[in-house]
Structure 1
């Protein structure tokens, strides 16, 4: 005997309501637990206390830090090739330049030929102490937060730094700080350098765990 349409419909309802509900993935659950913030703001480390699992909290903290790391103000100086980038769309540096053997340009076209230790308002040229490209081993453009996280923890790819030195660098380095004081109407990185440093420190304190490859801020 064929089941009636009414019986079949009831079975479908039971499957949907009772047995097919999926639990949210870890990355989604982390996001849902956190307060909403504006695109130009950062959450405070205390906001992540709602995530009880320390490992998951650490991953969420790094995803928050990656909102700064992947912002054009930072990522443009961490290109995957030999040409610096500029603008919110990551345009190749104009005039054309290349990184050179020491990441500071080539002879006659060194970075500091134009970029001084401060922003030049009238010339609209950005500047900060020790202006240079990040080493190619520290390329961020086109990379995932998970990749960058592992990169930052690897002394072979982070300039030989310990995690404590990574925290210090991000919290106080003047070239890093330029990302929040870019000058001439350029969009700064989210939050402040002080807030960013606190997030990186909290990430390290919670075990410096890395998010999954598919996780995004």
Structure 2
């Protein structure tokens, strides 16, 4: 009977440690209380006569989303994600692991469940994970991100039309516009971002200058 009680106590302690670690990961960010701005529609750029200039301007508008913390935090330069509107290193310390879902001892799904848990400010999605290493763009210029996102070797093997679906329809990407309490959403809406990608590709997919 004593052994059973001891095992039960250890299990409860382990659960408590996991809850504390998860709460640390969900620490709110003061900047997250401020609403994000909007996005211009593709038609807003029709007055730019030069086709290449118009295309580059469309990507610059899309860049407001790509360089927002909701995207950059999951496209880190290293193997540790960022969190919050300030892009702090993830707490508790976690690593990418082989598939981007964390290591065997600390899987992303240990804390991040199928949906946001706003009372604890814990973000969630069924496929919560980091973008692949080749898709990292933390600290890169918008021009560099533009070149990267067009390169199948560095964009997850996506063709141009796949980019429209990925940014405009993928539900994990869509979390950026509904991130839950304590985090600012990406600018505009996911549908608007998808429309900007489509217009940028249709206009020649030019990149902005460095």
- Taking structure 1 as the reference length, what is the TM-score of the superposition? 0.79
For the pair 1:157 / 2:154, whether they are aligned, the reply is yes
Structure 2 CA distance for aligned equivalents of residues 89 and 185 of structure 1: 12
Structure 2 CA distance for aligned equivalents of residues 135 and 109 of structure 1: 18
Match of 1:176 among 173, 177, 191: 173
Structure 2 CA distance for aligned equivalents of residues 119 and 131 of structure 1: 11
In the alignment, structure 1 segments of 5+ residues that lack a partner are 1-37
The higher-RCO structure (CA 8 Å, 6+ apart) is 2
The Cα shift of 1:198 comes to 0.5
The Cα shift of 1:39 comes to 5.8
Q: Residue in 1 aligned with 2:83?
A: 86
Listed one character per residue, the Cα deviations across residues 96-134 of structure 1 (whole Å, up to 9, x for unaligned) are: 101011111000211111111210122211012311001
Match of 1:53 among 46, 50, 53: 50
Q: Residue in 1 aligned with 2:104?
A: 107
Report if aligned partners of 1:118, 1:127 keep a CA contact under 8 Å in 2.
yes
Larger relative helix fraction: 2
Secondary structure at the residue paired with 1:132? coil
Structure 2 CA distance for aligned equivalents of residues 208 and 129 of structure 1: 32
What is the total number of aligned residue pairs between the two structures? Answer: 176
For the pair 1:195 / 2:185, whether they are aligned, the reply is no
For the pair 1:66 / 2:70, whether they are aligned, the reply is no
Report if aligned partners of 1:75, 1:141 keep a CA contact under 8 Å in 2.
yes
The Cα shift of 1:51 comes to 0.4
- Taking structure 2 as the reference length, what is the TM-score of the superposition? 0.81
Superposition misfits of 4+ residues, deviation over 4 angstroms? none
Structure 2 CA distance for aligned equivalents of residues 92 and 74 of structure 1: 14
Listed one character per residue, the Cα deviations across residues 21-54 of structure 1 (whole Å, up to 9, x for unaligned) are: xxxxxxxxxxxxxxxxx96110000000010111
Listed one character per residue, the Cα deviations across residues 147-200 of structure 1 (whole Å, up to 9, x for unaligned) are: 111111111111111000011110100010000000013110100001111001
Q: Residue in 2 aligned with 1:142?
A: 139
In the alignment, structure 2 segments of 5+ residues that lack a partner are 1-34
Structure 1 CA distance for aligned equivalents of residues 192 and 83 of structure 2: 24
